Structure 1
Amino acid sequence: MKNSTIKYKKRFSDVLLYVIISPTLVRKNGGNILQEVIRGGADAVQLREKTMPDNEFLAIAKDFREITGQTNTLFIINDRAKIAGKVNADGLHIGQTDMNINNARKIIGNDKIIGRSTHNIFQARLAEQEGADYISVGPLFYTATKSHEPPVGLRYLQQVRQEISLPFVVIGGITANNAAEIIQAGGNRIAICSAIICSENITQATRTLKDLLVKNNPFSGQEKKLPL
């Protein structure tokens, strides 16, 4: 168990580009989208479908698990802990209104990655106290996929950078046009949905953003490390 936990956390610490895939958003085959983002250099992928029935979601999740297993890509499932457990996903991402971290661990196992969405420094502090393995920070800018949450801006990103020891991914309205600004502000991991999966050339859009992260990232690997 200990070695497995170290393996997953070490792999997440190496993540730069985290792609969120919602097949119904673009009405494309999920497996095809997944293969394209992996070819483009995605380090981690999250399957996210808020309204899809469980049986349909499970079928897609099984396909994602097979493909990510073959390509050694981290596979995270959004919200649906039981399905994450059934397909042996590498981790689970939960929002502020979803189950707590302790209950999530009971379902998917203590060795798996759990991420928590945060929108302010108080939520980030709590996620760290409760034992999250990483947090998302955002939405940084306005995004239609999280239109119910107001943009948090760069100030919150800087607060997290200064105070929180957990790895974090910056999310919300990020594109190739503003990615360099975010990286320079301390956002060394970026989570992207629409700017990649809604593009005409998914592989190229993924590769462009991954190259920006690799070339312009002065912070990678400098987080304070928590004891495992």
Structure 2
Amino acid sequence: MENSTIKYKKRFSDVLLYVIISPTLVRKNGGNILQEVIRGGADAVQLREKTMPDNEFLAIAKDFREITGQTNTLFIVNDRAKIAGKVNADGLHIGQTDMNINNARKIIGNDKIIGRSTHNIFQARLAEQEGADYISVGPLFYTATKSHEPPVGLRYLQQVRQEISLPFVVIGGITANNAAEIIQAGGNRIAICSAIICSENITQATRTLKDLLVKNNPFSGQEKKLPL
């Protein structure tokens, strides 16, 4: 029987669409947003709130864990390792200024996924050396959620494809209008926030992007059905 570490890594390797959810960004109920993106075909979701008090974040994270646990959707917590461990999230995503990967593993466990944000090839190499399970690559284009980081463009994506063996998600300013170009350039996993959760029809926006990934991704297999 495969161990849980292998199981989690295999599940992440199957991810095509990774949706970042920030309820305060759109002033909507987090659980409702989550259910809509799952209906639309999201493979993984990340709960991200930079300034929310821990007790409020924990309450939302518990709801997310319950819902994702029923739908085989990967649940990643942004930054807050203790809460990720407390709710038994599938993984943790940390930025360049957050804790190191070894310390994160001590908190959430060796069997969980840890992702690291990267903005250049040097950071990507270091994340791989430190034992990250995946990296995010971006922001490819300007995005309000990463306004402090300059866009890296497609060149960095191509460097990662050539040098890094880790799974990666591309992020930053991605929409239904430019997703096909990104996929064809090698961005086979896409992480999206605003283009989905700020849309009038979240389920349809999610479905449109998932369909683009399935259609244009030469490595995708059968599309997963994740009914609630």
Superposed CA offset, 1:86-128 (max 9, x none): 0000000000000000000000000000000000000000000
Unaligned 5+ segments in structure 1 are none
Superposed CA offset, 1:119-169 (max 9, x none): 000000000000000000000000000000000000000000011000000
What displacement does 1:54 show? 0.1
Separation in 1 of the partners of 2:45 and 2:225? 23
What displacement does 1:218 show? 2.3
Aligned-residue sequence identity (percent) comes to 99
- TM-score (norm: length of structure 1): 0.96
What displacement does 1:219 show? 4.4
User: Do the aligned partners of 1:128 and 1:166 also contact (CA within 8 Å) in 2?
Assistant: yes
Name the CA shift for 1:24/1:226 in 2 (closer, same or farther; >3 Å).
closer
- TM-score (norm: length of structure 2): 0.96
Name the CA shift for 1:222/1:100 in 2 (closer, same or farther; >3 Å).
farther
User: Do the aligned partners of 2:24 and 2:49 also contact (CA within 8 Å) in 1?
Assistant: yes
User: Do the aligned partners of 1:5 and 1:110 also contact (CA within 8 Å) in 2?
Assistant: yes
- The two structures, once aligned, show a CA RMSD in angstroms of 4.5
- Partner of residue 99, structure 1: 99
Separation in 2 of the partners of 1:126 and 1:14? 24
User: Do the aligned partners of 1:186 and 1:219 also contact (CA within 8 Å) in 2?
Assistant: no
What displacement does 1:225 show? 26
- Partner of residue 7, structure 1: 7
Separation in 2 of the partners of 1:122 and 1:34? 34
User: Do the aligned partners of 1:166 and 1:224 also contact (CA within 8 Å) in 2?
Assistant: no
Name the CA shift for 1:149/1:222 in 2 (closer, same or farther; >3 Å).
farther
What displacement does 1:221 show? 8.3
User: Do the aligned partners of 1:46 and 1:75 also contact (CA within 8 Å) in 2?
Assistant: yes
Separation in 2 of the partners of 1:34 and 1:80? 19
**Aligned residue-pair number:** 228
DSSP-derived class of the 1:2 partner: coil
Name the CA shift for 1:90/1:55 in 2 (closer, same or farther; >3 Å).
same
User: Do the aligned partners of 2:81 and 2:107 also contact (CA within 8 Å) in 1?
Assistant: yes
